[in-house]
Amino acid sequence: MAIGFVVWLVVTPAIYRVWTPPRTMFMLTDSADGNTVFQEVSLDYISRHYVAAVLAHEDAELGTRKGPFHIGEFIDRTQTYLETGEDLSGSTIPQQLVKNIFLVRGESAGARVFRKGVEAGLSWPFSLVGDKRQLELYLNYAQFGPNLYGVCAASWYYFNRPPWDSNPWDAATLAGLLPLGEDVRRAPGGGVDIESDGTWLVASTVANAQNKLPGRIRQMGGWEGAVATVGITDAASDHPLGPHSCAVMPQGVADRLAAEDAWWSSQYGG
């Protein structure tokens, strides 16, 4: 068993360097009604506004930090959580990624503590896939709504646009959804219904992202400087359309919009 586990730790990062499996454990344990909506998109075709906003919101040190997280900060987080039951700083992108791929949901205190420990351990060998690839996988697997995963599906579902066609406002909006994917709903006519959860949480979190991310991105040197931290030196528009470009609305998104009898306002071309 020990040998098998070591082999798994080595082989799994190698697989994920070249393949994006269409399902993760986080998707498979989503209790929301309806089918999982997901379609892979290459990082080449993701707007750099999206990339910069996610980095600034979730993990600005992804491309400059040695390792998936700072051990000292993780120890401080653990101590604070054990004393107060709160996790004020949140996990890094590598930690969130291995959680999404390999771990099941569970909101009890014991489940959360166990999951935090496992994701911290798994994030070290999984970081062998590289920072840029981890970011690509994260943008594909992040939850942006009930049973809605990845920036390809989210961009079409909320904004009626392919993921390379974005602006700073919409990018900040999507980045603000990342801790709240289970609670978010589409607004009538398109966009995000920030009151959809019936509480202040979605509205305040999205508003905070919309207000603060532009300044954080400017401090990183604009979107160009932000994406350069993970080795991206071009724009999505520099790439001719090819495989995994998400150039057409995914069928799963179209089916969900039809089931919701959704319509598009003129703001989104409908």
pLDDT for the residue 69:
87
CA torsion through residues 259, 265, 266, 269, sign = negative
pLDDT for the residue 77:
66
How far apart are the C-alpha atoms of 148 and 54, rounded to whole Å? 17
Whether residue 13 contacts residue 125, with contact meaning beta carbons closer than 8 Å, is answered with: yes
What three-state secondary structure class fits 168? helix
How much is the pTM? 0.93
> What separation in angstroms does the CA of 140 have from each of 87, 202, 259, 267?
25, 21, 24, 25
Residue 38 bridge partners (DSSP): 149
pLDDT for the residue 232:
98
How far apart are the C-alpha atoms of 132 and 135, rounded to whole Å? 5
DSSP 264: B
The per-residue pLDDT string of the chain (270 residues; one tens digit each, 9 = 90 and over) reads: 777 766 677 789 999 999 999 999 999 999 999 999 999 999 999 999 999 999 999 999 999 999 998 888 777 766 766 666 666 567 899 999 999 999 888 766 666 777 778 888 899 999 999 999 999 999 999 999 999 999 999 999 999 999 999 999 999 999 999 988 888 999 999 999 987 666 788 899 999 999 999 999 999 999 999 999 999 999 999 999 999 999 999 999 999 999 999 999 999 988
